[in-house]
Structure 1
């Protein structure tokens, strides 16, 4: 069977859905192909589902009309068709790869069974199925080990903690979220997790996953210390899904290489989102993926001037949730450890020699704000605990305009909670 569409988009994540919807609004017919059984959803909010704050349907994305559930197995560039696992072939005029990324599975001894499957109790944390599997297994008293202390690991540990398990987070780096946060902000995140009862280990390398009868029983660290575990969550990062592109002979480095028009080495095939590498960068974040989708929609609709020139990424994470079975504390109380915990980071959060740094910290409230200024321009910042000023700061950073010479306006940006 062969069907035809002017534009075929492979991947029904945030980027693919955004592109298909924008194309529909611009009058361009598009067919969206997604392999997951669930309706398209916002992957950024999976931790909220795991925490019990949102039901799965709450994070669903408005699906475009042309949605096919199938797993694409090959691209035939000469015939301009894609083949699916069910035998279907789909013809395209323009093909867009929005295949996203896969979780990194670290090279640990014992991570896979003889059948090359993860042992019972070991979960990646990337898809809604991963999330639902974890939610089904989690309960008070369960011993959970989260491997990885980046953005994903912190989100997973926090979400698990409010559901009642005994949670241990093992981070190989010297501090949490070292790629996004400076040391002071990392310490506040560490304190927040500790207040929730999470046992945090940094500078800690996991070397072995031990199972019995096909089910995980413990995680062994490099120093020989063993952590008892009924659940293990792998939150070690992601890598672009480039298999289809490589097999089709497209240029691939870290991701599928694209130019400013998001074209691959084949002018009839574009790529965007987590799988794409633009100007040497694979962003792996929602905001750049959505921006790329908007630019590509304009291009495919006939705007010859549209270009993607890169994104100055803002990392924003709201760690929220309810107490669930974790305790009797009122989750809405301002000083409750189960209440919201917000953080945002943008640009360069670490100062270079000669940079000016403005910091405001409130140890009692657990809030921290810092901006880095270079040559009278805001080049980055980090906020923890309260994000009222993030909108104004992000706009000043994105505009890259010179700041006034005196500190008044900058301090106003840091302290004006109406800035968002």
Structure 2
């Protein structure tokens, strides 16, 4: 079988690895438009902040037998002959084709927008840092997840940063108004000036112009105005495309030889913009095309959004915008401590957690993520969900009380039991556990939990001996 993967990002590279792990004989060719080896795009804000180097966010090289065509774009798909044409004049045949083309930045039609730098790739990161080296200030346009990460990253380098957002509060898709306000105040304490409800009308040589006529001076302007799926190849090939490439529960398009995964795919009306669903989809496709599990199906994902910005802890999941109603069908439990940058909100329906916002230090984030993901019943006293240990009991996230089935790494579906098994098999440090399980290689937010578990296991062994 000849498998061709278009896209060498986190979805395409994972698919190649999953297929090779199941079948050593399939011929795999991966085309990547970028010349770089696959890297963790989720952690680019750490590179921007200077807390990680480009080398530190690289993902493992492709397995033996995988041909990676880096810096080579695919220009067309010929479904009749089952070949793809490439920008260097080549032609590659396939038996199975997987589209993992990802997404591209939304560039608003603002006069002078070419003076700004979109924040999406490692090359973008290099360009931003190159300008930042001599700039005295920066403006970031867009207060969604990526914009907040970019602003915090630049501020972490000691640069004055202004974050502009047209909506009434930051990250309005994931957060309610109060959480957005607390997040803005937390960022202000870290050196980011946040301005919401503002429109940029032009980007000038040395700043931006607002709809009010005001001009903000800046030598660096970064765009973080959202992304959209890259679907041009699919459209030209006559595949069904809505917002993304439409696929079924097998991640298959209308052409039985072509699949789509990751940010370019639209499953059951949803395009997922996070890494965990892409990796789940890759596993399903690998099972199907290798025959490892012909019953494998993708049924959608329950999303947990995490902010990857130094000194700002945030997790948001589910239906965060719901409010209590007169019928009592929805219960909301909320705590705010603005002076400390803390906001915690639980949204409960039928005694199940259907949404949560956890901003600032939150010792129960792991427990609440598990309750949301599994839809399990909640304890009658909601207080302990926000403030563990008030009754003198062991904190909810203590390894002692975590069941082995508790998920520690959402991106890679790694449980406490997986980590314990690796440790007992000889993986006695973080590097060894990461190599065995891939934990921490997604958004990276579980690293402290993984290291804590390993430390706890070592302590237990010392006690026994």
What TM-score, normalized by structure 2, do the two folds share?
0.79
Partner of 1:350: 321
Corresponding position: 1:60 with 2:35:
no
> Map of 1:20-169 to 2, 5 A cutoff?
20-27=16-23, 29=26, 30-65=28-63, 66=66, 67-69=68-70, 70-111=72-113, 118-119=114-115, 122-139=116-133, 142-169=136-163
Structure 2 residue aligned with 1:299, among 281, 288, 297?
A: 288
Look up the SS of the partner of 1:369 in the other structure.
strand
How far 1:181 sits from its partner (Å)? Answer: 1.3
Deviation at 1:408, TM superposition (A): 6.1
Determine if contact 2:202/2:209 at 8 Å carries over to the other structure: yes
Corresponding residue for 1:225? 214
Gap runs ≥5 in structure 2: 390-394, 403-448, 450-465
Aligned to 1:279: 268
CA distance in 2 between counterparts of 1:20 and 1:406 reads 47
CA-CA distance at 1:416 after TM superposition: 3.1
Indicate if the aligned counterparts of 1:43 and 1:127 stay in contact, CA closer than 8 A: yes
Rounded Cα–Cα distance in structure 1 between residues aligned with 2:352 and 2:234: 40
Cα displacement (A) at 1:387: 4.1
Aligned to 1:372: 347
Are positions 1:238 and 2:227 aligned together?
yes
Aligned to 2:165: 171
Q: Say which SS state the counterpart of residue 319 (structure 1) adopts.
A: coil
* 1:37 Cα deviation after fit: 0.9
Q: Is the 8 A contact 1:139 1:163 kept in 2?
A: no
Q: 1:404: how far off?
A: 3.9
Q: What value does the CA root-mean-square deviation take over the aligned residues? A: 1.8
Name the SS for the 1:199 alignment partner. Answer: strand
2:6 alignment partner in structure 1: 10
Report the CA distance shift for 1:410/1:198 in structure 2 as closer, same or farther (over 3 A): closer
Looking at structure 1, the residues matched to 178 and 122 of structure 2 have their Cα atoms a distance apart, in angstroms, of 33
CA contact (8 A) 1:139 1:165 kept: no
Match of 1:341 in 2: 312
Are the equivalent residues in 2 in contact too, given 1:356–1:373 (CA < 8 A)?
A: yes
Higher helix share: 2
How many angstroms apart in 2 are the aligned matches of 1:310 and 1:298?
A: 16
SS of 2:282's equivalent in the other structure is helix
Preserved contact between residue 176 and residue 190 of structure 1 (Cα < 8 Å): yes
Judged with a 3 Å threshold, the aligned counterparts in structure 2 of structure 1 residues 267 and 104 are, in CA distance, closer, same or farther, namely same
Unaligned runs of 5+ in 1: 112-117, 211-215, 321-339
Give the deviation of 1:278 after TM superposition. 0.5
* 1:357 Cα offset (Å): 1.4
Q: Secondary structure at the match of 1:33?
A: strand
Q: What secondary structure is seen at the aligned counterpart in 2 of 1:281?
A: coil
What is the CA-CA distance between 1:359 and the residue it aligns to?
A: 2.1
Question: Could you tell me how far apart the structure 1 residues matched to 2:93 and 2:354 are?
Answer: 46
Counterparts of 2:135 and 2:18 in 1: how far apart (Å)?
Answer: 46
Instruction: Give the match's secondary structure for 2:234.
Output: helix
| Contact 1:10 1:72 (C-alpha < 8 Å) held by counterparts | yes
- TM (norm. structure 1) is 0.87
Q: Distance in 2 between matches of 1:407 and 1:193?
A: 29
Q: Describe the shift of the 1:55–1:402 C-alpha distance in structure 2 as closer, same or farther (beyond 3 A).
A: same
Find the counterpart in structure 2 of residue 267 from structure 1.
256
Contact 1:13 1:40 in 2 (8 A): yes
Other-structure match for 2:410: none
Report Cα offsets for 1:289-336 as digits up to 9, x if no partner.
11111111111121111000101101012311xxxxxxxxxxxxxxxx
Provide the C-alpha distance between the structure 2 equivalents of 1:407 and 1:173, rounded to a whole number of angstroms. Answer: 32
